[in-house]
């Protein structure tokens, strides 16, 4: 039986495994991270791990807003975990950056103390799109049940926004700011939107607090990128065999990783620039390109691929008709929406992303990417559609992706399967109300201004999505009848064309 990964068993690891290059016992926390999921542990924690070798008390106190599972899993191993780079040249890293873990439901006082601690200089967040409680206009959604609860119970917030405001209020009372709050989620203008949500919430409770936050706290925008699939049981077994130690929750990711941060801090920070992080005055082009080219095609692959019975990104991109659809979507609709760039070869960037999808070592489930569609589609597809309508470019395949989401919702509802999405109940209720008629459901979904904003009353857009739903229903039925037919399908031709 293998021993457990821990500080005391690190010395048993093969020399090819990288281990913490700083004093684990005596390096304190300088960062609080909210939402320590797989992506944080594969990306920001990786960069911070490497930056810790250059000194400073920059270990991380992780705060889980909902589940205690990570804290329970890692407490047996000194919060160490393996990060496995699964690519043509695999690497194994033991990450020690996370020093402590708390769960809001059980450790609230500990969490607030960490956020108010003068030594805490950075708060980073990966709470996913839904964690910001934003409305379709990018402002705080004051109708959100968590926000409504937190405005009443300001000392026991359940939202990340409410928790941040509580901490900043206490720091203001203590007489110091000296902290930078960094969103690391796939949200356009993520730092600006987080700042808006936090200051709008604070101002509702105390105008002077809202102004103090505006004047003293930096919310830099970022672009984050590394494909990080969820950990499955067979991967854990592989890691145990490879390391010779048991890791209760190892993480895997591709070798490609990128972190671009706006150089706007109201505190000191780790020496991230020494380990590959890009600092710039304007993140917007990096972020827009990545959100649209990678995340836009990821979401398209997820819903179109699932309709055709695919399970992973690799399977989807390996299907000629799907790859042709993705490449045409990029060339004709997404890349042109970004305009010309003198410093960025967008065509090459897009090709590189398709190549990343063809990484046979990565088992990235389409069902995972399909989570939270109502929260992702606005950033990944709708902003591109808006630009293309304005500039009179095609939106055919973008509308096909929206249509595939509508059909996905109907399929899940019809099977009475829950949808991982904050709107699960209302989406499935809407489908039931129209007796699971996909075209009727699509009309209902497109009328949701909380998702589609002004597109919910843009008739040309809605007509095109309905046309694509009708075409996808035919394709889905053909594939269900004869799975082999998909290799003869030319999705692009089938989906193109006026409604």
The DSSP result for 96-136, as a single string, is --EEEEEEHHHHHHHHHHHHH-TT--EEEE--TGGGG-B-T
Residues 414, 409: Cα–Cα separation, whole Å: 9
Q: Which segment (192-200, 223-231, 234-242, 491-499) binds ligand CS2 by CB under 6 A?
A: 223-231
The residue among 108 and 361 lying less far from ligand CS2, judged by its C-beta, is 361
Residues 186-205 that bind ligand CS2 (CB under 6 A): 186
Which residue is at the shortest CB distance from ligand CS2?
298
- Near ligand CS2 by CB under 6 A: residue from 369, 385, 398, 407: 369
H-helix or E-strand containing 386? helix 383-390
The residue among 9 and 226 lying less far from ligand CS2, judged by its C-beta, is 226
Whole-Å CA distances, 292 to 51, 188, 283, 356, 398? 30, 10, 14, 15, 11
Contact letters (x/-) for ligand CS2, 161-190, by CB under 6 A? -------------------------x----
The residue among 77 and 128 lying less far from ligand CS2, judged by its C-beta, is 128
The residue among 81 and 379 lying less far from ligand CS2, judged by its C-beta, is 379
- Near ligand CS2 by CB under 6 A: residue from 203, 266, 280, 368: 368
Decide: residue 298, CB within 10 A, 0-12 exposed, 13-18 middle, 19+ buried.
buried
Residues 391, 120: Cα–Cα separation, whole Å: 46
Please tell me whether residue 472 binds ligand CS2 under the rule CB under 6 A.
no
In angstroms, what is the C-alpha Rg of the chain? 23
Residue 17 near residue 92, CB atoms below 8 Å:
yes
Contact letters (x/-) for ligand CS2, 371-390, by CB under 6 A? -----x--------------
The residue among 171 and 310 lying less far from ligand CS2, judged by its C-beta, is 310
Residues 141, 112: Cα–Cα separation, whole Å: 24
Residue 373 near residue 409, CB atoms below 8 Å:
yes
**In sequence order, which ranges of 233-272 are alpha helices (DSSP H)?**
233-243
**Within its chain, how far is the Cα of 410 from the centroid?**
24
Please tell me whether residue 226 binds ligand CS2 under the rule CB under 6 A.
yes
CB of 289 to ligand CS2, least distance (A): 12
The residue among 265 and 371 lying less far from ligand CS2, judged by its C-beta, is 371
Residues 237-296 that bind ligand CS2 (CB under 6 A): 294-295
Give the binding-site size for ligand CS2 (rule: CB under 6 A): 10
Give contact residues for ligand CS2 (rule: CB under 6 A). Answer: 186, 225-227, 294-295, 298, 368-369, 376
């Amino acid at each position: 039986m293998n021993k457990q990964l821990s500080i005391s068993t690190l010395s048993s690891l093969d020399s090819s495994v990288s281990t913490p290059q700083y004093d684990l016992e005596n390096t304190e926390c300088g960062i609080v991270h909210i939402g320590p999921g797989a992506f944080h542990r594969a990306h920001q924690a990786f960069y911070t791990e490497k930056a810790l070798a250059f000194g400073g008390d920059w270990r991380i106190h992780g705060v889980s807003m909902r589940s205690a599972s990570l804290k329970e899993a890692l407490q047996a191993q000194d919060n160490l975990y393996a990060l496995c780079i699964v690519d043509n040249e695999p690497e194994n890293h033991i990450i020690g950056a996370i020093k402590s873990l708390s769960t809001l439901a059980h450790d609230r006082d500990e969490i607030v103390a960490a956020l108010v601690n003068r030594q805490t200089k950075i708060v980073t967040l990966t709470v996913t799109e839904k964690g910001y409680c934003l409305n379709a206009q990018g402002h705080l959604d004051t109708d959100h049940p968590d926000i409504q609860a937190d405005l009443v119970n300001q000392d026991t917030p359940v939202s990340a926004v409410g928790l941040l405001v509580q901490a900043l209020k206490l720091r203001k009372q203590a007489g110091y700011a000296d902290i930078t709050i960094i969103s690391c989620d796939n949200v356009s203008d993520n730092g600006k939107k987080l700042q808006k949500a936090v200051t709008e919430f604070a101002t509702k409770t105390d105008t002077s607090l809202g102004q103090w936050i505006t004047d003293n706290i930096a919310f830099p925008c970022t672009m984050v990128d590394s494909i990080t699939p969820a950990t499955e049981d067979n991967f854990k077994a592989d890691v145990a065999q490879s390391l010779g130690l048991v890791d209760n929750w190892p993480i895997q990711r591709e070798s490609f990783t990128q972190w671009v941060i706006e150089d706007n801090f109201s505190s000191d920070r780790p020496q991230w620039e020494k380990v590959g992080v890009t600092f710039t005055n304007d993140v917007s082009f990096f972020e827009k390109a990545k959100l649209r080219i990678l995340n836009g095609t990821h979401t398209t692959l997820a819903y179109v691929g699932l309709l055709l019975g695919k399970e992973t990104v690799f399977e989807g991109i390996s299907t000629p008709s799907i790859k042709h659809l993705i490449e045409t979507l990029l060339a004709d609709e997404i890349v042109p929406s970004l305009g010309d760039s003198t410093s960025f070869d967008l065509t090459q960037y897009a090709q590189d992303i398709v190549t990343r999808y063809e990484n046979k070592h990565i088992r990235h489930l389409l069902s995972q990417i399909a989570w939270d569609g109502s929260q992702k589609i606005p950033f990944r597809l709708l902003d591109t559609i808006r630009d293309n309508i304005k500039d009179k470019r095609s939106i055919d395949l973008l509308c096909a992706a929206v249509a595939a989401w509508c059909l996905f919702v109907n399929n899940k509802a019809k099977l009475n399967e829950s949808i991982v999405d904050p709107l699960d109940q209302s989406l499935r209720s809407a489908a039931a109300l129209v007796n699971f008629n996909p075209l009727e459901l699509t009309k209902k979904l497109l009328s949701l201004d909380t998702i589609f904003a002004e597109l919910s009353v843009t008739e040309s857009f809605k007509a095109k999505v309905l046309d694509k739903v009708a075409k996808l229903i035919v394709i889905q039925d053909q594939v269900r009848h004869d799975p082999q037919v998909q290799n003869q399908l030319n999705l692009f031709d089938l989906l193109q064309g006026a409604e």
